[in-house]
Chains A and B, each alone.
Chain A
Amino acid sequence: MLDSTEEGYVTADGRQIGGVVMEMRNITLRFGGVVAIKDISFDIREGEIRAIIGPNGAGKSSMLNVISGFYNPQEGEVIYRGSKRPQMRPFQVARQGIARTFQNIALFEGMTVLDNVMTGRLNHMKASLLDQAFWWGKAQREEVANRQKAEEIIDFLEIQHIRKTPVGRLPYGLKKRVELARALVSEPSILLLDEPMAGMNVEEKEDMSRFILDVNDEYGTTIVLIEHDMGVVMDLSDRVVVMDYGKKIGDGTPTEVRSNQEVIDAYLGVAHD
């Protein structure tokens, strides 16, 4: 295992990773008789890129949904910044600074890219309904500040050319980027990415990888991602949790995980001599 002291650790490329921001303690999630997640524990540290991998149906997306507050586990607890998180609705979790993207893109197809990104600022809008209706005082000031932030993210993700394009007209790879923009614009401290590169070609994957690293580097955002492409996972992430049939079968750096026999058998296929 890594040298996971209270203060954190230093990654292979020399980045300082901080203390634990979120900890999963003995999480078990059931849907009726089906056990999706069985007694899983792991932690997420400040500023790291944490991957969750596993074969189809291993419970990865369920795990992400537990983190985002969409599912409430029957057993176990989620510790967020030192205290146990009570049962919460997803919007309450979002207010705590956790943003996500979806495996199946969930954008407003008829709205422009800019409007979609602006919806990500919802948590930062405090003006009253009346102010907003008349675009008055505080509402106006907020809108200017929020637009500024949205434009910064649009610039960061290089989607200026589609700013005014309705999302429905965009190709898949760009929609994924817009979704990332919407998540980022809320200035999250933890960013959850559910298969950010599914269905992308090599070039789009490279672009997306670059953006994920840049986000982590530029904003210091902690990133939790689920991904099928092993090459991507091994290149991007600092630590990897491996799941199979709802159980955790491995946890560590990409190198450790790669040489873990149980992981090789379950996920990468049994090696034949």
Chain B
Amino acid sequence: MAHTDTPQGVPQSVPALLARNVAQFGSKPAYREKELGIWQNWTWAEAAEEIDAIAYGLLALGVNRGDHVAVIGRNRPALYWSMVAAQKVGAVPVPLYQDAVAEEMAYVLEHCFARFVICGDQEQVDKVLEVQGRVPQIEHIIYQDPRGLRKYDHSKLHALTDVQAEGRAARDRFAGELKAREGELDFDSTCVMLYTSGTTGKPKGVVLSNRNIIMTSKASSEFDHLDPHDEVLAYLPMAWVGDFIFSIGQAMWTGFCVNCPESADTTLADLREIGPTYYFAPPRVFETLLTSVMIRMEDAGPIKRRLFHYFLEHAKVVGPKLLDGKSVGGMDKLKYQLGNLLMIGPLKNALGLTRIRVGYTAGEAIGPEIFDFYRALGINLKQLYGQTEASVFITQQPDNEVRPDTVGVPSPGVELRIDDTGEVYYRSPGVFVEYYKNPESTASTKDPEGWVATGDAGFIEPDTGHLRIIDRAKDVGKMADGSLFAPKYVENKLKFFPNILEAVVFGNGRDYCTAFINIDLTAVGNWAERNNIAYASYQELAGHPRVLATIQGHVEEVNRSVAGDEMLSGCQVHRFLVLHKELDADDGELTRTRKVRRRIIEEKFHDLIDALYSGKTSQYTETEVTYEDGRKGKISATLEIRDAATVDVGAPAKVAAE
């Protein structure tokens, strides 16, 4: 093992960090949640009391050392407290994706052998009860929101408030026990177990130690100078490692305040009310936000619209320079400030991004124009690159070295290595302990020296030291003529058009590339409205000839851009179709973090792929879909297949573009 040293003066566990925070800033807000329209507030001292009550309650229910306690629900303070309480009693919290269907949940509950499950509400309780036949070891289910659960059989079911009340009553009885168990926690005891969303195969339980979480939180907090006065909005899935690092790791390390939105639907309004200073969002969120701003500007009055475009153009040139502290002419600066007063400031305020000091995005490539837009507004948006196995951070962009096409320099304490095939390897104090009950996978991912394979192909830019990621290593292939095939590269270019939500490119071992396209219903729907095009369903809009023509234009533009890259010019899309349904995690086509599952899509839509390569102009297809409640249905459609103009690689791109 590479990292086994224990630094002096660093608390050795999350509960120890909590105790430190209570001592240092006991009366400072630690958690906020909007309830009944009002932001409720808990200080560190109050939060610690709530956590203790849950911990005593768990002891009363009989939680043992090393037990796995599953936590399922949306981001709420009580669920974060439950995780820390589980750590306190020597158990291991296992947060699960709340939108997972019962079947997926059963696998994880079975695999980690959870005896206790803490649920947010009735929906989650129902799912757990549904799969109980498969996971009989579940002894107690605890829920937070009692709605609809009044008449359930409560022999194994408990309200969290009741568990806390029992815990408070049993405080004296268990005080010694809790203290003993808390004292046993050290840097090498397990902090949390997180299941990877599983782009391939079954989810794997990634075991992260206190060392992993605390050292990573410490390094990354120092990297961005996070302090106790920062505010974050906790709205990303609790089962995702990022949320664990931001809302527990870094929050505990620096003592900043974690704000939980009222409900998933109110997130944007809550964002505005809180005005976080430190903010993470996947590219999709920034994309959606930009799309909605652009749509609303299209609908705005002519004066507002012209003002918006005028100052935005200027801000795009000046904003990033100001952000990076480069010199800007006096007139330009004045004009930017005027724009800030009239347009940029109010817009940022409307988006809730006024106070952001550090903003991060990761997970997928972000379109350069999206990136430029936010930086033009003066928002310090940066990219990072990471994965669950690294406790998030592998590389990140330092302030003033931000570019859309790289993912930054190695995070503090991280070593990088690129092997012969181009795959990226890393080693750091954040490297996971093991995959739970899966030594083969552990061994094949992490070598004895602690180097971990990312599964991504990339290279380090010699002059800047920044890492650039090309694609998933296993997705990078060869076309029939031997040229490089990197689907993600082309898909990202396609997805940068607001009209295109998702794209899947095929071509490995083939003569030419083809693509499936998903339209973005918000953007295309708004366009249809403004052009008086009536449509009754997603499917109908997706098949509209004018929509197809627009998409064809986008594909051809991407082809021109791809042709400019010597290495990847073979990846131009020759034929494409617009899918009749949105790719969906419920149908297994995307992961829960919305990454495309290529193999499954290839299998499921093989008839469409055959049609793309057979020269047909249309293809009838039937697809099974899963509704939100788990029932299945079928939709059928006849899809039009279009040819897109490509640029001849032999000829200079300049001539072809004319």
Instruction: Give residues in A with beta carbon < 8 Å to B.
Output: 14-15, 147-148, 151-152, 154-156, 158, 160-161, 163-164, 203, 206, 210, 214, 217-218
Partner of B269, one of A148, A154, A158, A161: A161
Q: Are B147 and A160 in contact (CB under 8 A)?
A: no
Interface of chain B, main secondary structure: loop
In the assembled complex, how far is the CB of residue A236 from the closest CB belonging to chain B, in whole angstroms? 15
Q: For A161, what are the chain B residues with a Cβ–Cβ distance below 8 Å?
A: 262-263, 265-266, 269
Chain A proximity mask over B113-155: 1 for CB below 8 Å, otherwise 0:
0000000000000000000000000000000000110110000
CA distance A155 to B38 in the complex (A): 12
Given pairs A154-B36, A203-B627, A217-B148, 16 additional interface contacts (CB within 8 A)? A147-B37, A148-B36, A155-B35, A155-B36, A156-B147, A160-B34, A160-B262, A160-B265, A161-B263, A161-B266, A161-B269, A163-B37, A210-B148, A214-B148, A217-B150, A218-B148
Contacts of B151 in A (CB 8 A): 14-15, 217
Taking A151-B36, A151-B37, A203-B628 as contacts, is the C-beta distance between A160 and B150 under 8 angstroms? no
On chain B, the residues within 8 Å of A148 by CB distance are 36
What is the CA–CA distance of A15 and B151 in the complex, to the nearest angstrom? Answer: 9
B5 at the interface (CB under 8 A from A): no
What B residues does A218 contact at CB under 8 A? Answer: 147-148, 150
Is residue B629 contacting chain A, with contact meaning CB distance below 8 A? yes
Give the residue among A152, A160, A163, A218 with the most B Cβ atoms within 10 A.
A160
Whole-angstrom distance between the Cβ of B337 and the nearest chain A Cβ: 31
Chain B interface residue count, CB cutoff 8 Å, equals: 17
The answer to whether A152 and B36 touch (CB under 8 A), given A160-B263, A161-B265, A206-B629, is: yes
Task: From known contacts A160-B263, A161-B266, A218-B150, infer whether A154 and B37 are also in contact, taking CB-CB under 8 Å.
Answer: yes
Q: Once bound together, how far apart are the Cα atoms of A210 and B34, in whole Å? A: 24
- Which residue of chain B is the closest to A159 with respect to CB atoms? B265
In the assembled complex, the CB of A11 is this many whole angstroms from the nearest CB of chain B, namely 11
Interface code B254-273, partner A: CB below 8 Å = 1, 0 otherwise? 00000000110110010000
Closest A residue by C-beta to B34: A160
Interface residues of B (CB under 8 A from A): 34-38, 147-148, 150-151, 262-263, 265-266, 269, 627-629
Rank and list the top 3 A-B pairs by shortest CB-CB distance, nearest first.
A161-B265, A151-B36, A161-B266
Point out the residues of chain B lying under 8 angstroms from A217, CB to CB.
148, 150-151
Report the separation of the CA atoms of residues A160 and B264 in the bound assembly, to the nearest whole angstrom: 10
What residue of chain B has the Cβ atom nearest to residue A152's Cβ?
B36
Chain B residues closer than 8 Å to A152, beta-carbon distance: 36
Question: Smallest distance from the beta carbon of A12 to chain B beta carbons, Å?
Answer: 13
6 pairs of residues in contact across A and B, judged by CB atoms under 8 Å: A148-B36, A152-B36, A160-B263, A161-B262, A163-B37, A218-B150
B627 to chain A: which residues have CB within 8 Å? 203
Residues in B with CB closer than 8 Å to A206 are 629
| Chain B residue, CB-CB nearest to A154 | B37
A210's nearest neighbour on chain B, judged by CB, is B148
- Residue on A nearest B266 in the bound complex, by CB: A161
CA distance A160 to B150 in the complex (A): 23
Q: Which residues of B contact A158 (CB under 8 A)?
A: 263, 265
